[in-house]
Amino acid sequence: MQTENFFVKDKNLPRLDLFLQQKYKDKSRSHIKNWITNNCVFVNNKVAKKSGQILKENDQIMINFPPNIETKAMPENLPLEIVFQDKDLAVVNKPQGMVVHSGNGNFAKTLVNALLFHIKDLSGINGVLRPGIVHRLDKNTAGLLLVAKNDFAHINLAKQIENKTCQRKYLAILEGNIKEDSGVVETHIARSLKNRTLMTVCDSTKGKLAITEYKVLERFENFCLVEFNLKTGRTHQIRVHCKEILHHSIVGDIEYGGSVCKLVYKSDEKSLGQYLVAYKIKFNHPTTKKDMEFVIDLPNYFIVLLEKLRKNF
């Protein structure tokens, strides 16, 4: 087992996880969290119990690196809908239930595994575990994703997302009806202290700015179809805003207060996931400088529920 020792030289009392992220920039946040969770990190010869442990100047850090089971993502012949591709980028339609890239020990059947099989060249900015990945979708959110095939395109597309010039629109079916026909939700979002796998609204000193525009497209007796336009791209942003600010969770989003829709599933069945689809994306091509827009048809499970709602309404 490989071991590394070093001392904290920062006087700003950094958190342990953030300190390690700065030192090991090629590792993901979940990767570093796994080190801490699995008792691989020691502070002053004591096992670190929390990712958020505050460090002091001259603290000694020791890491017993676990065996590297998988050093890079491997190609897998998985179904992948490529909506568009050229020498610089690809636009793909991720299905519901597929993880974008490896994490928490999951190295197989991800979108990255499929990309490596179907697309020859991918940008290397995000390392060997996340090649080509410019932005992400949750496992149970379906829809359009941008993939970079070289570093120049990756940097350009990432900057468009950061500068809010890349337009990403989503459709969701919500439980109940939002009072206003349209609006803008602006909050700050951070990881939940109660459940570290979820996010929550917080004050500006603890989280990142999250802005979501929404517009109600159709209303039904106990549901509504809503279009969302992301102005920022925070983890679980739409799902958090629906639950905590609009007070109407997305159908099937059990983690954020949603329930299984009885119009689709029997009482003993589980939901496949949230009825949330990234259906439209618009951006400026990094090389040609032409505006490009892609729109996908809604997945069948989404259409089935809409048809039932329209029939009952």
pLDDT above 50: residue 69: no
Helix 16-23 with 29-37: angle, nearest 10 deg: 120
> Above 80 in pLDDT, residue 92?
yes
The predicted pLDDT at position 15 comes to 86
pLDDT the model gives residue 67: 60
Domains of the chain, CATH where assigned: 3-64 (3.10.290.10), 81-162 (3.30.2350.10), 167-280 (3.30.2350.10)
pLDDT computed for residue 75 by the predictor: 92
Q: Find all residues with CB under 8 Å of 163, minimum gap 6, and list them.
A: none
Catalytic residue among 17, 59, 88, 138: 138
Tokens of 159: 């900057």
Contact residues for 138 (Cβ-Cβ < 8 A; gap 6+):
236, 239, 274, 276
Residue 313 makes CB contacts below 8 A (sequence gap 6+) with 220, 221
Asked whether the predicted pLDDT for residue 13 surpasses 70, the reply is no
CB atoms within 10 A of CB 20: 23
Task: Pick the closest to residue 292 from 170, 172, 154, 146 (CA basis).
Answer: 146
Within the chain, strands assigned E span 3-7, 41-43, 46-47, 60-64, 81-85, 89-94, 142-148, 167-175, 182-191, 199-202, 208-219, 223-230, 276-284, 291-295
Catalytic site includes residue 291? no
Q: Any residues with CB less than 8 A from the CB of 303 and at least 6 apart, and which?
A: none
Report pLDDT digits (tens) over 142-164.
Answer: 999 999 999 999 999 999 998 99
Cα gap 156→222, rounded to integer Å:
42
Per-residue pLDDT tens digits for 168-211 = 999 999 999 999 999 999 999 998 988 878 999 999 888 999 99
Q: CA-to-CA distance for 262 and 85, rounded, in angstroms?
A: 39
Q: If you average pLDDT over residues 90-104, what whole number do you get?
A: 88
Whether the pLDDT of residue 70 is over 60: the answer is no
So what's the pLDDT on residue 312? 79
Task: Report pLDDT digits (tens) over 272-295.
Answer: 789 999 999 999 999 999 999 999
Res. 229: pLDDT tops 90: yes
